[in-house]
Amino acid sequence: MSTTSETRHSVSTDGTRIAYDVTGTGPALVIVDGALCQRSMGPARGLASALAGDFSVHTYDRRGRGESDPGATAYSPQREIEDLAAVIGAAGGSAHVFSASSGAALALAGAAAGLPIERLVAYEAPFIVDDTHVPHDPDLGERSRALVEGGRPGDAVRLFMRTVGVPGPMLALMRLLPVWKKLTGAAHTLPHDYAIVLEHQQGRPLPDGVYAGSTTPTLVIAGGKSPAYMRNSQAAIAAAVPDARLETLPGQTHMIKAKVVAPVVTRHLLG
């Protein structure tokens, strides 16, 4: 098994350099993180370690985070689909993909757009598609952008954390930990994630044909201890993707535990 390599770069369609590294040997697997995460912070590192015995795991910093460039052109979700395509291209032209949270929404859109994804795992894209949760404020992206531009990135992170249900005492503790600096350092990318997910967080069913273009065998994962709205939305995603199945992991939540998730991912990708 190889160790994590030094940082490499792929170049997206608009010229933005996307930083990535590779761990392990085997078929190429790209990990797509969720909001505020990057290679040095979030589930990617643990998953890469757990999966490196079977795959060449490519972890990358989404644009504007870590060692990736902020973006050579104005942001849109299509730019991030192009970034994912660039990393897949660097991985050999096609790859498996594991994706989580807003990264799952991004990867699902990429598969529907025809990216060369061999097999896809989507872990809890954070949609609200029924009345089991209050819809999210459709102006969250603009509110976050205004906070960051006003020199208040910590407030943008707090707004996000409150929106996703982080308890107040836990949020207060996070502000005292070293990780808070990394979170606030990525606050300017929160509008990117909102641009990807907010349209599917309004309590409405997924639009007909939203993933009709996907030909990728897809495993949609829900946590058995996640709230009803999350489990319901994963079932809706699995029903909307032409070649998909839903698996609910008992005892799991939106927080990914690599030791639990990695064997499920491996079975789907190599099955």
Enumerate the domain spans of the chain: 8-128+207-270, 140-196
The residue-averaged pLDDT of 155-183 equals 94
CA dihedral 268→259→257→230, nearest 10 degrees, is 30
Give pLDDT, residue 4: 55
- pLDDT given for residue 1 in this prediction: 42
pLDDT at residue 2 in the model: 45
Task: Please check whether residue 44 is in contact with residue 31, taking contact to mean a CB–CB distance below 8 angstroms.
Answer: yes
Lookup: tokens for 18: 């996307």
- Residue 137 is classified by DSSP as P
When the candidates are 3.40.50.300, 3.40.630.30, 1.10.3720.10, 3.40.50.1820, the CATH number that belongs to 8-128+207-270 is: 3.40.50.1820
Three-state SS string across 90-106, please? HCCCCEEEEEECHHHHH
Q: What is the pLDDT of residue 14?
A: 97
> Percentage of residues in the chain with pLDDT exceeding 90?
96
Provide the β-strand partners of residue 117.
Answer: 95
What is 194-218 written as a DSSP string? HHHHGGG-SS-PPPTTTTTT--S-E
Q: Which residue has the tokens 């709205």?
A: 229
Note the pLDDT tens digit of each residue in 92-151.
999 999 999 999 999 999 999 999 999 999 999 999 999 999 999 999 999 999 999 999
What is the separation of C-alpha 82 from the centre of its chain, rounded to a whole number of angstroms?
A: 15
What's the mean per-residue pLDDT of the chain?
96
Nearest residue to 81 via CA among 112, 50, 124, 47: 112
Residue 196 has pLDDT above 60, yes or no: yes
- pTM of the full structure: 0.96
Distance between CA atoms of residues 211 and 189, nearest Å: 25
Query: Do β-strands 95-100 and 218-223 pair in parallel, antiparallel, or remain unpaired?
Result: unpaired
216 burial (CB, 10 Å; 0-12 / 13-18 / 19+) is buried
Is residue 271's pLDDT more than 90? no
Which backbone phi and psi does 158 adopt, to 5 degrees? -60, -40
Banded pLDDT at 40 (limits 50, 70, 90): confident
Q: What is the model's pLDDT at position 36?
A: 97
